[in-house]
Chains A and B, each alone.
Chain A
Amino acid sequence: MLGLTIREVSAALREGRISPTELCRKCLNRIKRTRHLNAYIAVTEELALKQAGEAEARLLRGAPKGPLDGIPFAVKDNFCTENIKTTCASRMLKDYTPPYTATVVQKLLNQGAILMGKTNMDEFAMGAGSTDGAFGPVRNPWSYAAPYRERTGAAPDSDWVVTGGSSGGSAAAVASLTSYLALGSDTGGSTRNPGALCGVVALKPTYGLLSRHGLIPLVNSMDVPGIMTRSVSDAAIVLGILQGQDTRDSTTTAAPSSLTELPEHFDVKNICVGIPQEYHAPGLSEETLAQWSRVADMFERAGARVKRVSLPHTQHSIVCYHVLCHAEVASNMARFDGLEYGHRSEEDSSTEAMYASSRHEGFNDVVRGRILSGNYFLLKQNSEHYFVKAQRVRRLIAEDFKRAFGSGVDVLLTPTTLADAARYSDFTQEDNRTRSAQEDVFTQPVNMAGLPAVSVPTALSSRGLPIGLQLIGPALQDKKLLGVAQWIEQRVGFPSITGAIKHMQDGSFDSFIIRHCPCEIEMRPVLCFMTC
């Protein structure tokens, strides 16, 4: 039951095969048994059971609110939730309880979805590993699944791999079957990156299509609430519910269409898939490259036009992304002074001293480092050289995409990450800045341009860890993008973790079965273990 998609479990709820309360309890148990993943900062058990009871009453009356009624979900801990602590995985907001709920969370609650808890992340979403939060790192559920254990002979306690980030807790929640969907946030890849590394579908919608009201910002001009699910069709259902103009967020736009259901069969014959040559970047693993070619070949064989395109300014994107990101971080973090809310230091010799030590105690090194460099970029004598220049390059990057889509390309196909997930012990060899630059290299240009992109799990690597590919579409073409993504999903046969993920101390590995088995697809040797 826990391994089902939203669509499947929703049907089960309606048909009475399971009740929302039973489902909720199952998920709560699962959360307890997977506590070692550290996916949740807070589990809202009492509230979840109360909501489940209400959903149950509606379903019994035969009057569910919609496809999400009674469906457990998780929310990254940078979305405000009324009367529920919202920490951003920071000491600064360790005890902060917002008086209001983020629009996207409220929309899910209004649909009867059941909030299981708030998920772990990098502090203030600054990171690409979910290793730099005040509540400790998140562990990738695939670390405890059979393929990784069997293929690498990894030791259960020490060789676990990271989830990617910064929405690692949300990705882990969906992948470890404790929630059917989770909200992440995506500023430079923070939803797609852990989505790829944890083997879940991760959608970054067009900028402005989803409200940011209540999302504690990283970079306002790039942040988008992200959607993580186990299937593309589930992502479409959730997008349909969350999208649309919000009077409380002036940067939102009206949805181009009321997105309901994706067509079961998407015809790729008439589409053109662009392969950006610049994404053939140093550090790209052979296996990821192989997956990229494999899916490109699939398109070609199915009759789609596949062509090489150039996005010439791609190489400048990551450094400009960092300049813009740090500048906005410096600005957005200025409010955390310990006066109105958040951590306040004992230091009280002067207001300035209190600010300084509250901020020093409240923020980790990563946040403080970005504030420092961001303020440097915004100084009067530097702004033109760094900030304004980076903005100009941002425009060039957006134009690169525009030109590609203007030349007849419908979607761009790229890797989501350079490689599969790193072991925690390897990942932490490098500092946060280096890791962010490596991990976001394929994802952040999309945020610079405000475009929709989705990461689709494609295969397991030779280490038994997920590899994802990214599809990028023109602005507001989210639905078409998902149509193409579903076409891939239907053909790659990515396996799903089902059965119990046992506590790491059990020493036993999880059983592992294959859900999709599209036999018509010819698989490459490296992946043959997961084909039938």
Chain B
Amino acid sequence: GPGLSLSLSLSLSLSLSLSLSLSLSLSLSDPQQLVGVVGLEVHAQINSNTKLFSGSSVRFSAPPNSLVSPFDASLPGTLPVLNKRCVEAAVMTALALNCTINKKSLFDRKHYFYADLPAGYQITQQRRPIAVDGTLTYSILGGKKRSQVIRRTSTIKQIQLEQDSGKSLHDDLRSQTLIDLNRAGVGLMELVMEPDMSCGEEAAAAVRELQLILQALGTCQANMSEGQLRVDANVSVHKPGEPLGVRTEVKNINSVRFLSRAIDYEIQRHIQVLQRGGTVQNETRAFDSKSGETIPMRDKEGLQDYRFMPEPNLPPLIVYEDNASLPTGIDACQAVVVQEIRAGLPELPSIKRDRLVQTYGILPEHSFTLVNEDGLVEYFEAVLKATTKEPRKVIGWVTNELVGHLKQRDMSVSQSPISPSALAELLERQESGHISSSVAKQVFQEMWRSPGKTASQIIQEQDLGLVSDATQLHSICQKVVDSHPVEVHAIRNGNKKVLNKLMGLVQKETKGRADPVLVRAILQEKTS
């Protein structure tokens, strides 16, 4: 019949394409087997009051050119003076990322002409950066329900201190470029990561973890939309085991979500170019968040020769392991001491998650949600303090109800209209059997809508308390039993599951307020 011939032709075409792809892979490129390779370059603006080499203040969205010292504007004769706070922030970040600290590092000049780079060069650390050879461990969620936590580790090649540039604003209409030097000279930590990731999701998870680490350290506010954290992705594709393909650099990515999309788009684009028999151009591309595509940038870097040269105005940067290794005559408050910084490291997110899982017996994926939202761990722990309810039963309220409501309205934890103690009170009412779990959810929504009202007030006002009056429940149950003879018959014949249906009907009658333990007992009695 036709069915048979159809399946036959299908299998034929399948085997054909299979042999085709086999022969392709034997010759040059099998697009099916190409995989993405992703390396990140992260510029993290150091959270410090003043710039890397000058005393100008650092502030986001200050009036243009209001935070500019003679040095920042590269006035001739001015010299860089290194900001100790920036060095300490870099060392602290490096320690948190398991780097080796270079006790002696050097500054270099990287030259290029651009309107927002007043000196014509950027001071960076090309030859010998402050830290090398670290790791960033992050996790992605896998498995069918995406509830399996899979750990990954990326290598950090180096962390270098360098200056930020100013900002150019192009006014195409009047063909003018306006320059704002407020950002010029702000301290950056550039983290160069090895190309050891394979897709946007991994990169996004790595950057999210990095954000959490930097925020925990306080070394960078790490807000991507404000440009405190800027991520460029180097993307290429290759067949596993073979050399990496030509890479492109994707810039202009201002959120973790866009990072993931930009990388995946770029990987697919490379694969398609190769599939068509084309070659990937080594170029810099910008991510357009509206179209979700990457587009070639008017290449300011082109074939740049940066003409690196040692920065002659800054002696080598020396950091000391401990106070004992300080040479005599060095003012201790002028020295950066690694051990002191190590001693001051706060709890890092991965440690915090392990602690939460162990202490409260919650699931690892819940620990991710808790740590990901700023202030949520504190919120969770505050609720626990005020309730006898088990942490495992509280976690859902926090990670689902609370976070769900916050996300819907794009709010932060600190903006929640329901305080930890108010939520605890609600949970107490449920735990003590005062209200059912479905009513509790109802009350939660009411609390969200009317900030300031307590759970008890709402329960009382709306008469939501549990009905545990035996006589009243008896009569409701009797009504249900009488009107459902078929179900009663099934139960009596041994199908005990049907009892749940009757229970549901009783709850419907009472709008979910009936005491479930009592109702079950009554129904069992009436159907036995």
Known contacts A250-B80, A355-B113, A328 near B312 by CB under 8 Å: yes
Docked complex Cα distance between A352 and B307 (Å): 18
Known contacts A250-B315, A335-B119, A379 near B305 by CB under 8 Å: yes
How near does chain B come to A400, taking the closest CB pair, in angstroms? 21
In the complex, the answer to whether B78 meets A213 with C-beta atoms within 8 Å is yes
How near does chain A come to B335, taking the closest CB pair, in angstroms? 15
In the complex, the answer to whether B119 meets A250 with C-beta atoms within 8 Å is no
How near does chain A come to B314, taking the closest CB pair, in angstroms? 6
In the complex, the answer to whether B70 meets A100 with C-beta atoms within 8 Å is yes
Q: Which of A52-60, A293-301, A337-345 contacts B (4 or more CB under 8 A)?
A: A337-345
Query: Of all chain A residues, which has the CB nearest B72?
Result: A340
1/0 contact string of B106-139 vs chain A (CB within 8 Å): 0001010101001111000000000000000000
In the complex, the answer to whether A221 meets B312 with C-beta atoms within 8 Å is yes
How near does chain A come to B252, taking the closest CB pair, in angstroms? 20
Collect the chain A residues with CB atoms within 8 Å of residue B77's CB: 79-80, 98, 102, 212-217
**A351: Cβ under 8 A from any B Cβ:** yes
How near does chain A come to B39, taking the closest CB pair, in angstroms? 22
Q: Which of B435-475 contact A (CB under 8 A)?
A: none
In the complex, the answer to whether B313 meets A331 with C-beta atoms within 8 Å is no
Query: Of all chain A residues, which has the CB nearest B76?
Result: A216
**A283: Cβ under 8 A from any B Cβ:** no
Q: Which of A352-384 contact B (CB under 8 A)?
A: 352, 355, 375, 378-380, 383
How near does chain B come to A199, taking the closest CB pair, in angstroms? 30
In the complex, the answer to whether B120 meets A335 with C-beta atoms within 8 Å is yes
Query: Of all chain A residues, which has the CB nearest B313?
Result: A220
How near does chain A come to B459, taking the closest CB pair, in angstroms? 67
Known contacts A100-B70, A251-B315, A351-B177, A337 near B79 by CB under 8 Å: no
**A62: Cβ under 8 A from any B Cβ:** no
In the complex, the answer to whether B305 meets A380 with C-beta atoms within 8 Å is yes
Collect the chain B residues with CB atoms within 8 Å of residue A351's CB: 115, 177
Collect the chain B residues with CB atoms within 8 Å of residue A380's CB: 305-307
In the complex, the answer to whether A247 meets B81 with C-beta atoms within 8 Å is yes
**B332: Cβ under 8 A from any A Cβ:** no
Collect the chain B residues with CB atoms within 8 Å of residue A247's CB: 81
Query: Of all chain B residues, which has the CB nearest A333?
Result: B120
**A49: Cβ under 8 A from any B Cβ:** no
In the complex, the answer to whether A331 meets B309 with C-beta atoms within 8 Å is yes
**A451: Cβ under 8 A from any B Cβ:** no
Collect the chain A residues with CB atoms within 8 Å of residue B313's CB: 220, 249-251
How near does chain A come to B480, taking the closest CB pair, in angstroms? 82
In the complex, the answer to whether B113 meets A340 with C-beta atoms within 8 Å is no
**B82: Cβ under 8 A from any A Cβ:** yes
**B308: Cβ under 8 A from any A Cβ:** yes
Q: Which of A224-261 contact B (CB under 8 A)?
A: 247-251
Collect the chain A residues with CB atoms within 8 Å of residue B75's CB: 80, 98-100, 340-341
Which of A79, A80, A330, A339 has its CB near the most chain B CB atoms (within 10 A)?
A: A339
In the complex, the answer to whether B307 meets A378 with C-beta atoms within 8 Å is yes
**A334: Cβ under 8 A from any B Cβ:** yes
Docked complex Cα distance between A351 and B112 (Å): 13
How near does chain A come to B47, taking the closest CB pair, in angstroms? 23
How near does chain B come to A501, taking the closest CB pair, in angstroms? 32
In the complex, the answer to whether A334 meets B120 with C-beta atoms within 8 Å is yes
Known contacts A328-B309, A340-B74, A248 near B79 by CB under 8 Å: yes
How near does chain B come to A478, taking the closest CB pair, in angstroms? 20
Known contacts A220-B313, A340-B118, A331 near B79 by CB under 8 Å: no
Docked complex Cα distance between A201 and B308 (Å): 39
Known contacts A331-B109, A334-B111, A334-B113, A378 near B79 by CB under 8 Å: no
Collect the chain B residues with CB atoms within 8 Å of residue A98's CB: 70, 75-77
Collect the chain B residues with CB atoms within 8 Å of residue A336's CB: 76
In the complex, the answer to whether B113 meets A337 with C-beta atoms within 8 Å is yes
Collect the chain A residues with CB atoms within 8 Å of residue B119's CB: 334-335
1/0 contact string of B297-329 vs chain A (CB within 8 Å): 000000001111100111100000000000000
1/0 contact string of A102-115 vs chain B (CB within 8 Å): 10000000000000
Docked complex Cα distance between A327 and B111 (Å): 12
Docked complex Cα distance between A252 and B306 (Å): 28
Collect the chain B residues with CB atoms within 8 Å of residue A404's CB: none
**A459: Cβ under 8 A from any B Cβ:** no
Docked complex Cα distance between A327 and B313 (Å): 14
**B491: Cβ under 8 A from any A Cβ:** no
How near does chain B come to A84, taking the closest CB pair, in angstroms? 13
1/0 contact string of B156-200 vs chain A (CB within 8 Å): 000000000000000000000101000000000000000000000
**B73: Cβ under 8 A from any A Cβ:** yes
Query: Of all chain A residues, which has the CB nearest B175?
Result: A348
Q: Looking at the complex, which one of A248, A337, A341, A383 makes contact with B120 (CB distance below 8 Å)?
A: A337
How near does chain A come to B177, taking the closest CB pair, in angstroms? 6
How near does chain B come to A374, taking the closest CB pair, in angstroms? 9
Q: Looking at the complex, which one of B109, B179, B308, B309 makes contact with A339 (CB distance below 8 Å)?
A: B179
8 contacting pairs across A/B (C-beta < 8 A): A88-B76, A102-B77, A221-B312, A250-B314, A328-B312, A334-B113, A339-B115, A380-B305
Where the two chains meet, the residues of A that have a C-beta atom closer than 8 Å to any C-beta of B are 79-80, 88, 93, 96, 98-100, 102, 212-217, 219-221, 247-251, 327-328, 330-331, 333-337, 339-341, 351-352, 355, 375, 378-380, 383, 387
Question: Nearest 5 CB-CB pairs, A to B?
Answer: A334-B120, A378-B307, A220-B312, A221-B312, A216-B76
Please name 10 further chain A to chain B contacts, defined as beta carbons within 8 Å, in addition to the given A102-B77, A340-B73, A380-B306, sorted by A numbering: A214-B78, A217-B76, A220-B312, A247-B81, A328-B309, A337-B120, A339-B179, A340-B74, A341-B75, A379-B305
